[in-house]
Amino acid sequence: MASRADQMASNLNLSKFGQATELKNRIWFTIGALIVFRLLSFVPLPGVDPIAQAALYANNASGGVLDIFNTFSGGSLERMSLIALGVMPYITASIVVQLAASLSPTLAAIKKEGESGRKKLNQYTRYGTVFLTALQGYFLAAGLESLAAANGIGAVVEPGLMFRIVATISLIGGTMFLMWLGEQITSRGIGNGISLIIMAGIVAQLPRLVVNLLEGARTGSISGFLIIGFIGMFVGLTLIICFMERGQRRVLIQYPKRATQRGMMQADRSHLPLKINTAGVIPPIFASSLLLLPLTITQLLGNKVAGESAFGDFIITLNQYLQHGQPIYLLLYGLGIVFFCFFYTAVVFNPEETSENLKKAGGFIPGIRPGKNTESYLDYVLTRITVLGAAYLTLVCLLPDYVLGATGLRSVFAVGGTSLLILVNVTIDTISQIQSHLLAHQYGDLLKKAKLKGGRAR
């Protein structure tokens, strides 16, 4: 059943869009910021030969795990640009700070300080972003040097310590600029800035991936029926995501009877909406980050170690078993999604705090006593819907990976379930914010008319 907000949004008059000047300015600002992001993805790191880098990436990373990071960064990793790391260090740092705030009493106290506490946690997130970017940037520069030397391709013009330092500083600057750009989109544009940047990177890769599919169908290397089934699977998953992301468990909240202006006693009722997927896209992103980190290391090592030694045989075997579509990879990925789904849901929703807030406001759940009983009931309901949400996330993220691995399309089409989940979620969130702005604009017009009529009546 559609909520009252959904019904109001469905009655919006889109003809008012041209009159919503603030909304248009926000949309144009968002588009301009995303264009800047795309232009930066073509600016190479100092000391990197773009042509040689393209050949090096095609020989070593095409169809591998680095394609996943390359998709999220909009092809920046393939070109080794200033924003090759994208916003992934910022996302990792923000997740770590949020988890730490739920586990550390000191950070939990800072979080409760309101606006000042939020600013402090944001500052800690920025420090963590700089640290992670510096760490990843140095190893990325060192790995690029060794990979170029092993393949005999001069992707790095002058290898050495100076190149690593300059590349690390440049990558830090690129990631911090993207972080700032995302914050500007959030405050002055429309939608969540960081999510839109990730979405823009994925969308930028889609035309090339679609062309690869069509080229495979033209040459006969890919069956036409396989492509039709592949498109049908993604359409079906998109419909499932749209349905599940809007699904809620609405818990009835009853308030005591209160006297109205006419002297009548009236009991207020409200609903506490609990989303089926409370954790959003965080579980697959975090699970894939933790799983792809050792997988990337083993892939890089597997290109350099010899098979004669026991260590070399172990690395090569591990790299084979952890490839996309393999049973061990799918099992670990699924377990990681389920774990972080429950863990992050417990972080963002606290039944004890919600129960206390309801008790202070005089609200209660019919048939459930306030206090501990309400807390236990909310925890019970949340656990049940989280099981459904975790199963849904696991299906959406694992099914495309399994199909891509089984059909051999991984090297042609690198967009998996996580990318599709991000695309649909960000689109829904952005459209919802646009509807909210249009709704506020219509309410503003109604209030102005009401004031004018009231002034004339006087």
User: Is 1 inside a domain boundary?
Assistant: no
DSSP string, 290-340: HHHHHHHHHHHHHTTS-TTSHHHHHHHHHHHHTSTT-HHHHHHHHHHHHHH
Q: Mind listing the pLDDT tens digit for each residue in 103-150? A: 788 888 888 777 788 888 889 999 999 998 998 888 888 878 877 777
**What pLDDT, on the 0 to 100 scale, is given for residue 18?**
64
**Same domain? 125 vs 271:** no
Residue type, 136: Q
In-domain check, residue 40: yes
Number of domains in the chain: 2
Domain that holds residue 59: 21-204
Selected residue with higher pLDDT from 451 and 23: 23
The C-alpha torsion from 111 through 113 and 119 to 120, rounded to 10°, is -70
Looking at the structure, do residues 318 and 180 belong to the same domain, yes or no?
no
Same domain membership, residue 245 and residue 134 = no
Q: What is the pLDDT of residue 170?
A: 93
CATH number at residue 114: 1.10.3370.10
2 pLDDT more than 70: no
Max Cα separation, the chain? 96
Average the pLDDT over 208-214 and give the result: 80
Q: Is the pLDDT of residue 266 over 70?
A: no
Say whether both 155 and 230 belong to one domain. no
Give the pLDDT score at 457.
Answer: 47
pLDDT at 343 over 60: yes
Q: Tell me: do 228 and 185 sit in the same domain.
A: no
Average pLDDT over residues 89-115: 82
pLDDT at 315: 62
